[in-house]
Amino acid sequence: MSITYLEAIREAQAKALADDPRVFIYGQDVGAFGGAFKATKQLAQEFPGRVLDAPISEDAMVGAAIGAAIEGMRPIIEMQYADFSTPGFNQIINQAATLFWRTQVPCPITIRLPSGGTSGAGPFHSQSMESLYAHYPGLIVMTPATVEDAYSMLLEAVAIDDPVIFCEHKRLYYHLKAAALPTEAMPVGKARIARAGRDLTIVAYSAMLQDALAAAEELAAEGLEIEVVDLRTVKPLDTDTVMASVARTGRLLCVGEAFPWGGVTAEVLARVATEGFGLLDAPPQRLNARDTPIPYHPNLWLVHRPTAQSVCAAARKLLEM
């Protein structure tokens, strides 16, 4: 018996629907069809009238979720791909994110973004949007990297009174498995030491955690002890856990799948450089995708984003500094 990352997301939604009558799901093809990735498989049948197909109208989907949330509902919006959240961007950043600040009325909506690259997906079905959303005050941005977090953090997302951008990585959907669903979870907003070490800290999140762990394993064969931090949420960003790890290792490499200009990796480096400069034995480094749109062909795609190999190379270079 094992459960995949995708099944965990499906099960979390089933539990949210079963436990809380205020929850409903709204998104393209989420109804009888069960979603483009089957993240809502059978939910429309199990919860009649509460899993609704939406027209291809991301702006109106999010707008409606906000209106429903004002009225006390707990909507879950499925964007078919993270890339398609851009037509809903205005509603997310200007309406949902500002509502509580402006009115003291909370906006408990969860927006699921099937994120990140998969082979052959190309420029418009591969993007990682967490940095854009994390930039705006009033939003929480989750980036689960494990089956357990995919399940427990999605349940938390629905329970939280603020808008949550839930970045679930498509590359983890099918191949990342756990023995069972978790019965307990770390608090939201806390990063996790995914692997302990003392020579260098790799900070990662979402699918990049798996590449970071693979790199750490490879480097362990060379006698190098790499500490890997899983951010879990990029907003809030658990600076304390990152700083404590850097205090142990003196070296920082931050890895993200998003484009290189600004973003989560730059934020982590800025925080460590400004508040933890004295902890560093070498200049902090970061590794991101290339500064081009995401290519379609596997030959190109495999070298566009960071991989376990490029993480290894970057770590070795940093260890020589």
Partner 1 sequence: MLQTLESRGAPKAASSFPAQYLQAYRFMLLARVLDDKMAGLYRAGKIQGGVFLGRGQEALSVAMGLALRPGDVFAPLIRDGAGRLAFGEPVLDWVRTYLGSALGPMRGRDGNVHRGRPRQGLLPMISHLGAMISVVNGALMARRFKKIEGCVGAASVGDGATSTGSFHEALNQAAVERLPLVLLVANNQYAYSTPNSRQFACKDLMDKAIGYGIPAQRVDGTDLEDCLRVLSAATAQARAGGGPQMVVGRLLRLGGHGEHDPAHYIDAQLKKSPLGRDCLKVAEERLLREGWADAEAMRALRQQIVQEVAEAVATVQREPAPDPYKENWCALSSRHLIDVFEVPSLTPSP
Binding site for partner 1 (CB under 8 A): 24, 50, 54-55, 57-73, 75, 87, 90-91, 94-95, 97-103, 105-106, 137-138, 140, 160-162, 188-189, 235-237, 239, 271, 275
| Rounded least distance, CB 46 to partner 1, Å | 17
> Half-sphere exposure of 313 toward its Cβ, with a 13 Å CA cutoff?
6
User: Active-site residue 304, yes or no?
Assistant: no
**Pairing verdict, β 74-78 and 3-4:** unpaired
| Strand, coil or helix: 60 | helix
Closest CA to 150 of 174, 127, 119: 174
The DSSP line for 107-130 is ---EEEEEES--TT--TTS----H
User: What is the dihedral sign for C-alpha 35, 37, 40, 42?
Assistant: positive
Cα–Cα distance between 9 and 39 in angstroms, integer? 6
CB distance 306 to 287 below 8 Å: yes
| Rounded least distance, CB 17 to partner 1, Å | 12
| Rounded least distance, CB 286 to partner 1, Å | 17
Burial class (CB in 10 A: 0-12, 13-18, 19+), 184: exposed
Which of 98, 309 has the CB closer to partner 1?
Answer: 98
| Rounded least distance, CB 214 to partner 1, Å | 29
| Rounded least distance, CB 265 to partner 1, Å | 15
Closest CA to 257 of 177, 160, 171: 171
CB distance 116 to 126 below 8 Å: yes
CB distance 36 to 29 below 8 Å: yes
Rama region for 78: left / alpha / beta (φ>0; ψ in -120 to 50; rest): beta
Catalytic residue list: 125
